[in-house]
Amino acid sequence: MWVSTTDVAARVPFTLGFLGVMIAANWAAGTLSGRLPLRALRNWGISHRRVVRGEAFRLLTGTFLSHDRAMFCRQLVFAAAVIGYYEWQTGTLRATLMFAGINVVGSLIVLFAILPLIATLWPDSGLAPLRSLDVGMSAGGFGLVGTIVWQWPDPWLWLTALLAAIAVKAWLKFELIADTAHVVCLILGVMAEAMLAAVWTAA
């Protein structure tokens, strides 16, 4: 069955808008020239200390930026696939609320629970968890991955495989905020979708 460009745009406006903002933000910041300038990372990236200082806008600005051009390309494809699929299947309002909600809640859990715990337990680790700056949309993206796999057959098998893949990636190249956010948001996505399913079943 043929689906026109107009039909696609009508079905996934959040996805298209998100991708547009990603492209514009990374172009303006300088990422598309090769690498996100350090000044832009400091001005717009997310960290525990910056949010504690009242710079809550970083929960938004950090989502749309990427560290370098290669990361930008990966995340553009990831965002198009994951957000687009979920929006196509469930509708724009649900996709928008689910992505934004998981992205914000997951980020806050990482910033105010996990990173302070790491700083307390391993003060001499050299990780500088409270000062670390990060950018990227993968937290919310992994949240939607969690919602999607919960709808599939054998969701626990998929969840176990995804957690194992994250563990392997972290072992190869550990990124403190990103890797912890991926795990937290993946689980949040599964929980959110499971709760919605339970509510609909009860209704």
Residue 2: predicted pLDDT? 60
Tell me the per-residue pLDDT of 24-38, one tens digit each, with 9 for 90 and over.
999 999 999 999 999
β-strand partners of 46: 134
Q: Please state, in angstroms and rounded to a whole number, the distance separating the CA atoms of residues 68 and 124.
A: 29
Answer for the pair 72, 26: CB distance below 8 angstroms, yes or no. Answer: yes
Low-confidence residues in the chain, pLDDT < 50? none
Answer for the pair 104, 139: CB distance below 8 angstroms, yes or no. Answer: no
Residues with Cβ < 8 Å from 140, sequence gap 6 or more? 63, 99, 100, 102, 103, 106, 185
Q: What is the largest CA-CA distance in the chain?
A: 60
78: tokens are 């990831």
Model pTM score:
0.92
Answer for the pair 98, 144: CB distance below 8 angstroms, yes or no. Answer: yes
Tell me the per-residue pLDDT of 100-140, one tens digit each, with 9 for 90 and over.
999 999 999 999 999 999 888 877 766 778 888 899 999 99
The phi, psi pair for 68, rounded to 5°, reads: -155, 175
Q: Please state, in angstroms and rounded to a whole number, the distance separating the CA atoms of residues 160 and 172.
A: 19
Q: Give the residue extent of every domain in the chain.
A: 5-202
Q: Please state, in angstroms and rounded to a whole number, the distance separating the CA atoms of residues 160 and 150.
A: 12
Assign a CATH topology to domain 5-202.
Rhomboid-like fold (1.20.1540)
